[in-house]
Amino acid sequence: MENNQFSRRRFIGTGALAATGALLLSKSSFAHSIISGADKPNSVIKGVQIGVITYSFRALPSTIEDLIKYCVDCNINAIELMGDAPEAYAGIPKREAGQSNGDHNKAVADWRASVSMDKFKEIRKMFKDAGITIYAWKPSALEMRNTDEEIVYAFNAGKALGASHVTVELQAAAHSKRLGELATKHKFKVGYHAHTQATPELWDAALSQSEYNCINLDIGHYTSGTSSSPLPFIEKNHERIISMHLKDRKYHDGPNTPWGEGDTPIKDALKLIRDKKYKFPVTIEYEYNTPAGSNVVAEVKKCREYAAEALNS
C-alpha cells in the first residue's frame, strides 16, 4: 500500500514550495509554481518520446495537480491522460444517492454533449506550464454504449487537451467502423488497444475502415498473448502505430514483471524505434506489483531509467 503522506510530500517537485503555499495557488498557476527554480522535465531520449499513462499512478491520489507532480518528479514530459481526472476537474455529474445507473448514464451523456471545452483547455495549459505534453486522451466515452454525441465530445476534448489521438479498447468491427467514420468526419485519430487477444492480424479490419483508425500497441500484452516478439509487427505497422505501451510480461499469458525480468524485448523495441526514427511516443505503463520498501513513483522512475539506458546504449 502506497504511503499517501510520503507521496504528497515527495511529489511537490521542489523543496522550496511549502504545503500551505500550494493551497493558496490558483489552478492556472499551479503547474508553473511546482517547478519554479527547477528544470522542466525532459524524457525525449535519442529522439524517442517517453511518456507515461495515468494508470501507472492508480494507487495514488490522481487529481490533475497530483498527476502533474508525479510527472515532474519522474522527469517525464509527456502523458496519456485517462478520463477520470480531467472530467472531474471539468465538473462531470456525480452519481446521486438513489439514482439509477441508467439515469446517471443519461446525465453524464447530456453533460458531455453540452459541456464547454474551457476546462480542458485550462488543463492543457497547466500541463504545458509544467513542461508536459498531453499526447493521448483515454475517456470512457468511446464504448458501444456511448452516444455519437459522447464520441464527438471525446474528440473535441482531446483536441482541447492538445492530444493527437484518443485511445480505446479494440471491440467489434462494427464499432471500430462507427468510430472510424466519426473520426474521419472530425479529423481526430483513434488508437485501438489490445490485451493478450492480440495477433498480427487483429487490427486489420479497423485499419481498413478509416485512415483515422490507428494502433495503440502494448508490447507486453502482445508478447504475452502471442508468445513471440512484437518487433516484426512494429516494423510492418509502424506507420499506423500512433502510440505504444511499454511493460514487461512473460510468455503464455504470463504475469507482469519488473522490467528486464520478463520475455518482452523492451530494449530491442526501443532501439528499433530509435534507429528507424519512428515518430510515435512510447508510454510507460507501470503494472507489476510494487516491491516491499519501494513506492509507485520510485518504480516509474526505474522504468524510465531502464528505457533511457536502452536508448543511450
User: What pLDDT digit, counting tens, does each position of 78-88 carry?
Assistant: 999 999 999 99
Confidence of residue 11 (pLDDT cuts 50, 70, 90): very low
In a domain, residue 174? The reply is yes
Q: How far apart are CA 119 and CA 189, in angstroms?
A: 22
DSSP symbol at 94 = P
Mean pLDDT over 113-135 rounds to 98
In a domain, residue 117? The reply is yes
Whether 18 has a pLDDT exceeding 60, the answer reads no
In a domain, residue 21? The reply is no
Map grid coordinates 494508470 to a residue: 55
Confidence of residue 35 (pLDDT cuts 50, 70, 90): low
Q: Tell me the helix, strand and coil percentages in the chain, rounded to 5.
A: 45, 15, 40
**Residue 110: partners with Cβ closer than 8 Å, 6 or more residues away:** none
Q: Total structural domains in the chain?
A: 1
In a domain, residue 230? The reply is yes
Supply the pLDDT for residue 288: 98
In a domain, residue 38? The reply is no
> What are the residues facing 241 on neighbouring strands?
215
Q: Which CATH number do you get for residue 48?
A: 3.20.20.150
* Residues of the domain holding 231: 43-312
Supply the pLDDT for residue 161: 98
Which stretch of 9-18, 172-181, 215-224, 226-235 has the lowest confidence by average pLDDT?
9-18
In a domain, residue 115? The reply is yes
Supply the pLDDT for residue 21: 36
What percent of the chain has a predicted confidence (pLDDT) above 70?
88
In a domain, residue 280? The reply is yes
In a domain, residue 35? The reply is no
Q: What are the φ and ψ backbone dihedral angles of 78, each rounded to 5 degrees?
A: -155, 150
